[in-house]
Copies of this chain bind each other. A is one copy, B any other.
């Protein structure tokens, strides 16, 4: 796991997103035990509280479950993963189209530009 933090946004959110992506793309498998809070902190060179906060939010999101004294685990419910993935995809598409329309590009133009990428 790399750690190029962007100063513009809270570190804990960036950690959230990294782990979220790793879960959504099965870098961490369903039901897999995650590194301990302290290990994450060492690896990311960040205070354990910061990691804690990130993982907490992922837990309220349903991606992680905690077994006390035993560690934190990726959810075993693949449906949750799919839902979050699709929700993210839709949000981002919608946002993209909105932003493009704001500056005067139609949906067709927006797609054409993507294809050109």
Residues of A within 8 A of B (CB): 7, 21, 24-25, 60, 65-68, 85, 88-90, 92-94, 96-97, 99-100, 102-105, 107, 110-111, 113-115, 117
Contact = CB atoms under 8 A, between A and B. Distances in A.
Given A111-B115, A115-B111, A99 B92 contact: yes
Contact of A89 (B21, B24, B67, B113): B113
A114 B117 contact: no
B90 A103 contact: no
Number of copies: 4
B89 A117 contact: no
B66 A104 contact: no
A113 B92 CA distance: 10
